[in-house]
Amino acid sequence: MTLSIGQKQQMYDNGFIKVSGAIAPLMIDNALRAINHSIGQGMKAEDVSTMRVQSYAKELQATPVITDLFNRTPVVSLLESLIGEGNVRPARGAQIALRFPEMKDPPGRPHPHLDGMHSPNNGVPKGVIQNFTVLVGVYLSAARQDNAGSLTVWPGTHHAYERYFQEHGAEALLDGMPKVEMPKPQQLQVEPGDVVLAHYQLAHGTAPNVSAQVRYALYFRVTHPAFDRDHWQEPMKDIWMHWPGMKEIVAQARTAATEKP
């Protein structure tokens, strides 16, 4: 399974694409069974705040029932369409992200962030930005309405942050989220087996869940092999440097920008 030119254009413009029905139902069911068995054994209340930002069912994160949803599915070929053939290393683990129903009325609003920034309980050290290349969401349950725990994105903000970091330096992220003009957020509606590919630098968050169901998702964080941790700032100032599959789309966009009167 590969991405079309139209889908790549969506990635360039919006910073994300959704691919419907990419994962076989049996694989989804097997993952759900394992996760539900795990949480059915009980959770300590004092651990929930950490599990919410790191992962639930941590003993499953690196097991085949979870990693196969990346390694043995079209996810690999979809990613290769973007970051190049042979540049997608096997997943060694995933964040198992659950969002339980809330009782707040009215519900809160999702807040934008970039991954890899320090926050309480997320395991990222202070003074470090743990950026990567592509965020991959694999959805195990449906979210068919707003405020169902959906992934929420702010389309186009990857470009805004690129410009900001070109001007202020990527280290500015250590001081908090950049103050840029934000578009209207979009809560993504998904079905089990859908996959979302998002640029690392796209602002995103999680909507509150006021539905009657738990939202189940897996998140894999993919880093291009050429990424140099000692020069982590560079791909934040040139957001397509590790995306060879986007080369033509990016070149056309940049040419069109220079030709504008």
201 vs 254: CA distance, rounded Å: 19
The H-assigned helical ranges of the chain are 5-14, 25-40, 48-53, 64-71, 75-83, 157-168, 234-237, 247-259
pLDDT digit string (tens) for 217-228? 999 999 999 999
Residues spanned by the domain of 50: 5-259
Number of compact structural domains in the chain: 1
What per-residue confidence (pLDDT) applies to 254? 84
Measured in whole angstroms, the distance separating CA 130 from the mean position of its chain's CA atoms is 14
> Mean pLDDT over all residues of the chain?
94
Q: Indicate which CATH number applies to the domain containing 95.
A: 2.60.120.620
Token pair for 41: 């054994």
pLDDT digit string (tens) for 190-223? 999 999 999 999 999 999 999 999 999 999 999 9
- How far CA 125 is from CA of 113, 122, 169, in Å, comes to 16, 9, 20
pTM above 0.75, yes or no: yes
pLDDT band at 22 (very low <50, low <70, confident <90, very high): very high
Long-range CB contacts (within 8 A, 24+) of 230-235: 232/129, 232/131, 232/170, 233/165, 233/169, 233/170, 233/171, 235/131, 235/133, 235/200
What per-residue confidence (pLDDT) applies to 261? 65
Rounded (5°) CA angle 87-92-93: 120
- For a pLDDT cut of 90, what percent of the chain falls above it? 81
Weakest-pLDDT range from 32-41, 105-114, 147-156, 188-197: 105-114
What per-residue confidence (pLDDT) applies to 105? 84
Structure-model confidence comparison of residues 127 and 151, the more confident one:
151
pLDDT digit string (tens) for 29-54? 999 999 999 999 988 888 888 888 88
